[in-house]
Each structure stands twice: as C-alpha cells, then as structure tokens.
Amino acid sequence: MKIFLLGGTKDSINIIEFIKNKYDAFILTTTTTEYGSKLAKEGGSDETIARPLPKDEIIQIIENEDFDILIDATHPFAEHITQTSASIANELKMPYIRFERPTTNLENIDTSHIHYVKSFDEAGKLIESEFNKGNVLHFAGANTMEDVLKYVSGERFYPRILKVPSSLEKCEKLGISEDHLISMTGAASLEENIELIEKYNATVMITKESGEIGGVIEKIEAANQKDIDIIMIQRPQIKELNKNSIVSNLDELDIKLNSFFLKIDSAETGI
C-alpha cells in the first residue's frame, strides 16, 4: 500500500512508526519545514517533501504515483490544509483518514486561570483590555504572532518558536528582538514552563488547545502554580470533515487501515 501522509506533528511520527512496524507500506510524508522532514525520515518515512504543497501539486503527486490512501495528521489548528485534504480525497474518490488528536481532558485540572477565545485576534484584544501589565509568553507558534502583535507591544512579547529560517524571518519582519525568542524543540515540561514564567516575568500565557501531546496540561499546571492567566485558543470546527473519516488514536487508525488493506488484498487475489 502507498500512503500519502500530511505530517509535521508528533502524531505523524507515531503514525509512521506504527504503520512501518505493522504493515507493508510505502509512506511519503509532507511537512512544511526541513526539521519536520528530518523527524519523519528518522521515524521511518520512505520519502519526504519539506515544503508547503498547493492543492494541484498534491493531486498531481497522488495521481502520478498511484497512492492508495491519504492520511492527514497535521496540527488541529492547520484548518486550511485539512479542508484541502478532505476536498482532494473527495475529488479523487480515494480513502481518507483525518487523525485528530483528542481534546485535553481537564476533568481533574484547575481551569480557573483559563480564558477561552476563538482566535488570536481575540487573544490580542483581550490582553490589550484585561492584561496590560507584565510580559506575555506566546506558546502558539510563529505563524500566529502577527494577529496578537496588532494589540500587544513587542517589548512585552516572548514567543517560543522553532529557530528555523522561516520563523526567524517572521520574527524579524514583526520587529521581535532576538533576545525575546525562546528556542523550542518539543513540548515543554512543567518545570520548564515554570522556569520560563519566572525568567521572563510573565503575567499571561497564550496557547492553543492542542491536546495532551502538545503539552497543554503542563502549561496549565505551571500557570496555576505561578498564579498567571492563560488565554487558550479553541480548536476550529472544520465542516468539510466527515465524522466517519476521523480517528483519534492508533487503535482506531489500525481498524481503518486494516479494512483498507483487506479490500486491496481481496481485489488483487479476486477473493
């Protein structure tokens, strides 16, 4: 089986390792960065493409190289690519799986410091009106900074980013001082989050509701311990997705893949 995997997340690495261990499959993984491509290769992806792909090019690759299935394991907030991938699968009438990491279970967590908003623009406005003292930790990626900085001074703003050329260029363009940049190599631990809050004298933290694998619980607990506020951006609801196409763990993925493999085997053997 040939699998076209839209990756760039920790979930996608887990998927690659799982599939290569259990199935006879060729995997092409696309990511937007060289760093993501490197991790995919280390995880076992047979081939990678390390740049954003437009819809037409994805379709061309799938058709020219006879891919059997399209798996979207991009970030829960990568709304556009998920809309695009669902549209491609529909147009090509090919099997499609959206791997959607579960939302964070906050049942036993103190959520009193959390303020929910629907966008980064709303986050910026809320900081401007309610949290106009102290520094801001931005734990939500380089692509989301501009909307916040329309309302928040760069002197108060400390983003945690991957120090790759594209992110550094965004910071330079937005006038963010180099000594405000916090290097990111993965989800931070509770202790690391506390250390960053103390080091940068933060009074508020911005994060996405990106699930436990994204370190959300560790961020909340750090904020609780240091008595600072969290502005949490809620996940987008993607109308184009068919609920039957969504899986949220490797067991559910396995059930879907196994059914696809059985169909292919049956077609090839005539059974």
Number of domains in the chain: 2
Confidence at 270, pLDDT banded by 50, 70, 90: low
Is pLDDT above 90 for 162?
A: no
99 pairs with which residues across the strands? Answer: 247
130 with 181, same domain? yes
Sign of torsion, CA 12 87 241 32?
positive
Please indicate, yes or no, if residue 107 is contained in any of the structural domains. Answer: no
Nearest to 231 by CA among 250, 205, 211, 193: 205
Please tell me which residue, 262 or 144, carries the higher pLDDT value: 144
140 with 157, same domain? yes
Q: In sequence order, what E strands does 174-249 have?
A: 182-183, 202-208, 229-233, 246-247
82 with 126, same domain? no
DSSP output for 9-58: SHHHHHHHHHHHHHS--EEEEEESSHHHHHHHHHHT-SEEEES---HHHH
Please indicate, yes or no, if residue 108 is contained in any of the structural domains. Answer: no
Instruction: Kindly report the average pLDDT of the chain as a whole number.
Output: 91
The enclosing H or E element of 136 equals strand 135-139
- Per-residue CA distances from 56 to 10, 32, 52, 85, 95 (Å): 26, 16, 12, 11, 18
Q: What are phi and psi of 133, to 5 degrees?
A: -125, 150
pLDDT number for residue 237: 77
163 with 71, same domain? no
Q: What token pair was written down for 85?
A: 């991938």
Please tell me which residue, 259 or 249, carries the higher pLDDT value: 249
pLDDT number for residue 193: 95
pLDDT digits 0-9 by tens, 32-47: 888 889 999 999 999 9
Ranking 65-69, 145-149, 178-182, 232-236 by mean pLDDT, the lowest is: 232-236
Q: What 3-state class would DSSP assign to 202?
A: strand
pLDDT digits 0-9 by tens, 4-58: 999 998 899 999 999 999 999 999 999 988 888 999 999 999 999 999 999 999 9
Q: What 3-state class would DSSP assign to 80?
A: helix
Is pLDDT above 80 for 267?
A: no
pLDDT number for residue 263: 62
Please tell me which residue, 227 or 188, carries the higher pLDDT value: 227
Please indicate, yes or no, if residue 62 is contained in any of the structural domains. Answer: yes
Please indicate, yes or no, if residue 119 is contained in any of the structural domains. Answer: yes
pLDDT number for residue 225: 97
The enclosing H or E element of 59 equals helix 55-64
Once rounded to an integer, what is the mean pLDDT over residues 236-261? 86
Please indicate, yes or no, if residue 186 is contained in any of the structural domains. Answer: yes
Provide the CATH number for the domain around residue 206.
3.40.50.150
Please indicate, yes or no, if residue 255 is contained in any of the structural domains. Answer: yes
Q: What token pair was written down for 185?
A: 């190599």
Please indicate, yes or no, if residue 57 is contained in any of the structural domains. Answer: yes
Produce one character per residue of 161-198: b if its CB has 16 or more CB atoms within 10 Å, e if not.
Answer: bbeeeebbebbeeeebeeebbbebeebbeeeebbebbe
Structural domain boundaries, residue 150: 114-233
226 with 133, same domain? yes
pLDDT number for residue 105: 80
pLDDT number for residue 264: 56
Provide the CATH number for the domain around residue 38.
3.40.50.1980
pLDDT number for residue 34: 87
71 with 15, same domain? yes
Is pLDDT above 70 for 98?
A: yes
Q: Model pTM?
A: 0.73
